[in-house]
Chain A
Amino acid sequence: MKLCYLCLVCFFASWVNAQKKVSATDYVGALKSATDVMVSDVTSPVAASRYYAYINLAAYESAALFDTGYKSLSGSIHKFTSPVLDNEEKYGAEPGLTMILVVYKMGQRMLPSGFILKSKIDSLINIYKKSAFSESRLIFSQSAADKIVKHVTAFAATDGFRQLNNRARYTPRSGQAYWQPTPPVFMSPVEPHWNTIRTFLLDSAQQFKPPVPAKFNLSKGSSFYKQLTEVYNLGKQATAEQRNIASFWDCNPFAVSQIGHVEFGLKKISPGGHWIGITGIAAIHAGMSMNETALAHALTAIALADGFIACWDEKYRSNRVRPETIIQQAIDPAWRPLLQTPPFPEYVSGHSVASHTAAIILTRIFGEDFSFTDDTEVEFGLPVRIFSSFHAAAAEAAISRLYGGIHFRDAITAGEWQGKQVGTLAAKRFSKHLTHFK
């Protein structure tokens, strides 16, 4: 299955002319535009998960406003109230157009380079203007979208994100056991205060505290040292397939390449972005309606966002050193991981958390043995991979971090545990909404 997001505009043109309903493909395409902006902006994994959560929440709320078969998420999410529309908007707006506008406009409002999406909005509106749509329907759709966006961004504005830059920047702790900035550019660690962001579903960022990691101990035979050696040896002897797996799930938004004075970043989607991509693939594959697609995305994205909050809470609690740093100090100063070490503490593995959280929600939506072809990374020069289920994909994503030389095994195991906890809780909170997919 190969998607072509690029000709979205043409797609809409044909759709309008054919008076076809907005489908999963259109939704996924619009969301991909926001993803592209995030990739270009070099959005961190945590920030990306937050943007995805609010964008998809707003889109789904739009569905719930027009289709009484769908209920607002206001009851499930902390402090969230559903947006309200005038009757004129409610009955005058075109639901499909409104939802796509909401996706674009949420991106436009929230993303640093959201202005890029303006051209998407303009061309979408132009197509409608040229079509048989009445002027008023267009106007009501726009004002409805604006209202929903305003409501959800106001909600987002109170989640603590704006206060993050007032907090002290991270100072690495001294001691070999603790995280130190990593090559090549020794970036400051990403979002050390992310656990102050309001959760959507979790009681608190600490609700699912992972077990304490293996005690830092460089004597041979210790659990830590064994894990250290495992990463070190894998780095030297990983099989081609293990390397492929590591690269496929790299999901590093900004791997910096340095050649002399030439320095540039190679960009990819974040782990959360990858699972949003999988959600889209599945929705299209399953032939979902627009509203179902929005719901599937909202539930997955929101669960992912909480997964990252929980994970980041642990990262800056344990502050564990990355394999690259400690292997170079303790075993081999010339050792390099296969993947570039991301700029934040090691424990627990974020990809392990995110993948298992998403897999639980997606399995509830699409079923246990939902096989799919994952082509999310094709645009970044990687091949497709075929998975028999979401859980299989999640397990591979988790272990890929070991093959990539950026995590120890216990950070993966504990990450998987935490991800499953968050996913299970999210599924419980969303149980009403999940009935749509029965």
Chain B
Amino acid sequence: MFKKYSFACVQLITWLFICFADTQSAEAQPLFRQIQSDSTGISFQNRIIESAGVNIITYEYFYNGGGVGAGDFNNDGLVDLYFTGNMSPNKLYLNKGGFKFEDITRTAGVAGRVGWKTGVSVADVNGDGFLDIYVCYSGDLDSSQRANQLFINNGDLTFTDKAKQMGVADMGYSTHAAFFDMDRDGDLDLYVLNHNIKNLRNFDAAYVKKMTDPFAGDHLYQNNNGKFVNITQKAGILSNPLGYGLGLHVADINNDGWSDIYVSNDYVEEDYLYINNRNGTFSEKLKQSFGHLSNFSMGVDAADINNDGLIDIYTLDMLPEDNRRQKLLYAPDNYELYNNTLKNGFYHQLMRNMLQLNNGNGTFSEVGQISGISNTDWSWAALFADFNHDGLKDLFVTNGYGRDMINRDFMKFYADERLKHIQGKTDSRMFQMLQGIKSTPLHNYIFQNEGGLKFRDRSAEWGFEELNFSHGAAYADLDNDGDLDLVVNSMNQEAGIYSNNHVELNGQGHYLKLRLRGAGKNTAAIGAVVTLFTEDQTVTLQNYPVHGFQSSMQTPLHAGFSAAKIDSIAIRWPDGNYQVINQGIPSDTLIAIAQDLKINGKEPILKRSSQLFTKTSPKISYQHIEDKVNDFKLQPLMPNMLSFSGPRFAAGDVNGDKLEDIYVCGPKGQAGKLFVQNRDGSYMEKLQQDFATDAEAEDCDAVFVDVDQDGDLDLYVVSGGYAIDDEQMLQDRLYLNQGGRFIRKKELLPIELNAGSVVVALDFDADGDQDLFIGSRCIPGSYPMAPSSMLLENDGKGKFRDVTTEKASFFSSLGMITDAIWLNIDQSGPHELIITGEWMSPRVFQYKEGKMQDISIRFFTKSYTGWWNCIKASDLDQDGDLDLIAGNWGTNSPFKVGTGNPVKLYYGDFDNNGFVDPLIFHDIMGKSYPMASRDELTDQMVSLRQRFPTYDSYADATLTDILDSAQLQMASLLQAEVLETVWFENTANGFVLHALPVEANFSPVHVIHVGDFNNDGSADILLFGNNEQARIKIGKMDASYGVLLTGDNRGNFKYLNQVKSGLQVTGAVRDLLVLPGSGGKKILMVGRNNDDPVFYQY
């Protein structure tokens, strides 16, 4: 007893100490400290002066800011800095050490011309060992004034512009440029990122997309002995007028040793993902690789954020973090616009930052929201780098926009009012109107990578609380103390120099800086990939200087790691040669490695473990075709559409040949289909007249069950749906098997018009015949109201009686049921029925004393309300009882419940017009706010237009501002406290919730399958799902390609990556069947909504 107590005491003290120490250090000394210009000598400011002739209306990229170039221009071992000013002269500062700099712009001759200067790229373009500077120009100016400049370093800190003679005086509207060796010929080629200055929008798109524009489109130049030749068209680079290029990143994205290109585009034009074809051309593969992307893509960075050796891609957008700005700036969901854009051939684009996690097989999972880095407001530069030497790359994001141009009140009220009051010519009126738009400076964000794909916002603790408008940024170890400092180019403010104090403060972890020297003209070995191996980490860095926004950092590679020692370093040089160093590797210092051409190594081909699942040819020919309704047209405030629910499958031997046959549930307008298995394992469709007759019903579930005890399987089909034209179509159907023909028997079922979701065959009264439980989903058009679920009792001859009222009266108000299982939880005594549903906690029922009893409390001691989609039982820890796996909404969405604020749904007929109003509230930065925008809410409840006449009046509204006390009194409340997909361990004290790996929560889970897929004797879990029909603001949820979690029979699960699992299922999966394969193999049939099923052999 005493011992236990003292232990607890020590723990407490240790904990207190840690807390104290933590807050102490945080308060005393943030990780970064800004050093002012009077000390550094860097007084550069990107001064922007608005006038009637030059402003955001005459040039729409007026507030995009300047860039930062970092590099050692005199090879003295200190990183010098170059800044671009849009309207003001560029500046070059020579690093004198100790954070002291000298302005040498004038003697160096690199101030640039008068014009509109944008990005800067630093590289040794002519291969003489001295870094050169490439400066981009744009603006609403003459093309001659837009010629980009290439300042060639004369070796003595003077520079000469040789852009024209070298062929790189590009006259496009340039944002940025990157030098890299595209063809592995040893010299640097050039990609120039351009943008249009005219306004073209999606309605222009369909035909404009096919055109080319010499100034707006991007350009690719091939270096032929120092002369650059434009090979844009030949190389397959798109150059249409819709290119609003804002971000450029070159990296080896598919890990094949050749440089690929990522371009982020503003507005409707998609980003471009150019994969290097290794023959001087590129293939644009964005749509094949991503499920969705940022809409107004701005800056981009790419880095291996989870140390799996693969390059992940992060694009920035404009979604604010806080509720107020979201409500003020975010346009309401417009399905017409969204669909029109898709119809015009564009892709799924949503306004938020996207983190595209590289699955290594050509697909990416977008996980920005689960990682916590999706909302950083109007953002420009993203920089991944290890600022605290723990081996994980952290993230720095700059942001801010000169004026809140997209403020909804401005759009709807102020602009018109102001314009009516201002007299004068159009130009000056517009200019005066602009002055009325609010200017909101923002703090930059810095996130600590905590591993497990989680980033924690450290902006305040790490020293980034200042509010400003920041654009280009660079990291570099300016004082050579071993950690990465930050440099930020801001608008109308002195450039920010932030000293990283990690090493100074004796922070944990170690670092190694590597200066690579390439063979040939690519002296800095741009394109090299370096991997450092320690006992517990594998850190991969790609050597490309262009990062973030309009900036580049041609500086030593910088790796942090937690172990004391690096075991080995592997380098893949730009020409593909591979070199391994495994001796004498120091830590906490800078090392230089030059490519030794005598070492002509080949990259070891890693023995690929064979994939567990391999895609195989279709076993049935089937295409699921949804009638494309839009449920939000009926109830604009629902979170998801309910109409897109299938296809579900049922399996059973319908003809007594001992082979399982398949029924595929048909959506509205498409009949269900029966596929009969042949001896050779193939399937043949067997037409059924009665199925065709019922084609207008939406089949939501089905089961083969012998209801009339004649020895063959009959079929029960649940009818449901949300957007229903004919209520009669909600009647469930029973088809009796009459020698292989399925005949509908209306007289055997009670009349009911409940929109169902699931059917379970069960002999609840243990009288030997099969009874049925039918779960109900939603009253069509009245979300979240649910019709009664049903208990149907079989009279032994297949006639069913609805005994809900007499034997399970509470089934009439269970809620919106999604799934149900009939099982014996403790493997003894009577069976239990477990149900899950939306906005519900799982519930358990048992039939006792002539009635269904709710025994949930015995098994679930806590409330686990969630948006549960499905449930499966299996003994996961091999202790002899059944555990549960429950599929939920996941955590990769705007809805957060971790902070103790559940998602809440208040509903009732608040405006007393006979229809239910569902109002969802969810946590934003610790407080509960309405999901609906002002327009969406007032469209549902017109009376609220008087309460919230402006967007501003709604921007801080919470529950009690929207509903008065009388309305609140009549409101019903539903909650979701858990959104994670989890497993529940069956213990003596009921079910205990356990988390699954983060990948389980990438997307909503709708299908769970348990089996031993890697043949190690323990149960593994397969999860499928996705949701392509959420409201626009939630967006297309497609990050799951089939998640395989391998188990160890002790309840621990590990994610097996997609390359190893072999799974690559796109789309919304709604059911799965296991079919027999040849040679003892099995086949997974994975059913996808509005698509064909896919088949995997294992």
Contact = CB atoms under 8 A, between A and B. Distances in A.
A260 B60 contact: yes
Interface string A381-395: 100000000000000
B199 A260 contact: yes
Given A114-B946, A186-B337, A262-B56, A379 B420 contact: yes
Contacts of A164: 942
Interface in A70-129: 112-115
Interface in B400-425: 405-406, 410-413, 415-417, 419-420
A42 B412 contact: yes
B206 interface: yes
Given A171-B629, A187-B336, A263-B406, A165 B939 contact: yes
A172 interface: yes
A419 to B, nearest CB: 28
B201 A169 contact: no
A426 to B, nearest CB: 28
B942 A162 contact: yes
B337 A163 contact: no
Interface string B923-945: 00000000000000011111001
16 contacts: A40-B413, A162-B911, A165-B940, A165-B942, A166-B913, A169-B630, A169-B634, A183-B201, A183-B203, A184-B201, A186-B336, A261-B296, A264-B410, A266-B415, A333-B204, A381-B420
A400 to B, nearest CB: 22
A267 interface: yes
Contact of B336 (A115, A172, A258, A381): A172
A101 B634 CA distance: 39
A261 B949 contact: no
Contact of A185 (B207, B334, B942): B334
A266 B416 contact: yes
Contact of A262 (B57, B335, B914): B57
Interface string B371-401: 0000000000000000000000000000000
Interface in A335-350: none
A260 B56 contact: yes
B340 interface: yes
B946 A168 contact: no
B162 interface: no
Interface string A39-80: 011100000000000000000000000000000000000000
A112 B947 CA distance: 8
Contacts of A263: 405-406, 411
A225 B913 CA distance: 45
Contacts of B201: 183-184, 258
- Most chain B C-beta atoms within 10 Å of own C-beta, residue among A40, A187, A264: A264
B1001 to A, nearest CB: 32
B334 A186 contact: yes
A115 to B, nearest CB: 7
A184 B410 CA distance: 17
B199 A258 contact: yes
B686 interface: no
Given A162-B911, A165-B942, A266-B416, A181 B406 contact: no
Contacts of A261: 60, 296, 405-406
Interface string B419-442: 110000000000000000000000
Nearest to A380: B420
Contacts of A380: 420
Interface string A184-202: 1111100000000000000
A333 B945 contact: no
Contacts of B633: 168-171
B370 to A, nearest CB: 28
B115 interface: no
B636 interface: yes
B415 A181 contact: no
B20 interface: no
A316 to B, nearest CB: 14
Using C-beta atoms within 8 Å of the partner chain, give the interface range for chain B.
35 or more
A259 B60 contact: yes
Given A165-B913, A169-B636, 17 more contacts: A114-B946, A115-B949, A162-B913, A164-B942, A165-B939, A183-B201, A187-B334, A259-B57, A262-B56, A262-B57, A264-B410, A265-B415, A266-B416, A333-B207, A334-B207, A380-B420, A381-B420
Contacts of A256: 411
Contact of B411 (A163, A184, A265, A334): A265
Nearest to B57: A259
A171 B627 CA distance: 13
Interface in B41-84: 56-57, 60-61
Contacts of B632: 169
Nearest to B59: A260
Contacts of A264: 410-412, 415-416
Contacts of A381: 420
A166 B405 contact: no
B915 interface: yes
A292 B992 CA distance: 79
Nearest to A114: B946
Nearest to A164: B942
B206 A333 contact: yes
- Most chain A C-beta atoms within 10 Å of own C-beta, residue among B334, B911, B946: B946
A421 interface: no
Nearest to B946: A112
Interface in B214-259: none
Contacts of B940: 165
B630 A112 contact: no
Sorted from nearest, which 9 A-B pairs have the closest CB atoms?
A260-B60, A264-B415, A112-B945, A183-B203, A169-B633, A181-B336, A186-B337, A333-B207, A166-B915
A366 to B, nearest CB: 30
Contacts of A25: none
Nearest to B337: A186
Contacts of A166: 913-915
Nearest to A343: B336
- Most chain B C-beta atoms within 10 Å of own C-beta, residue among A41, A114, A260, A263: A260
A188 B942 contact: no
A183 B203 CA distance: 6
Interface string A271-285: 000000000000000
B419 A266 contact: yes
A247 interface: no
A300 interface: no
A379 B939 CA distance: 30
A180 interface: yes
Nearest to B414: A264
A291 B340 CA distance: 51
Contacts of A42: 412
Contacts of B412: 42, 264-265
B946 A188 contact: no
A181 B337 contact: yes
Given A262-B56, A262-B57, A264-B411, A184 B203 contact: yes
A259 B946 contact: no
Nearest to A381: B420
Nearest to B913: A162
Contact of A112 (B417, B914, B949): B949
Interface in B338-368: 340
Given A112-B946, A162-B913, A166-B915, A267 B57 contact: no
Interface in A310-363: 333-334
A181 B405 CA distance: 24
Contacts of B413: 40
Given A168-B633, A260-B405, A188 B334 contact: yes
A181 B945 CA distance: 24
A188 B336 contact: yes
- Most chain B C-beta atoms within 10 Å of own C-beta, residue among A115, A169, A258: A169
Contacts of B945: 41, 112-113
B917 to A, nearest CB: 9
B1007 to A, nearest CB: 30
Contacts of A170: 633
A343 to B, nearest CB: 9
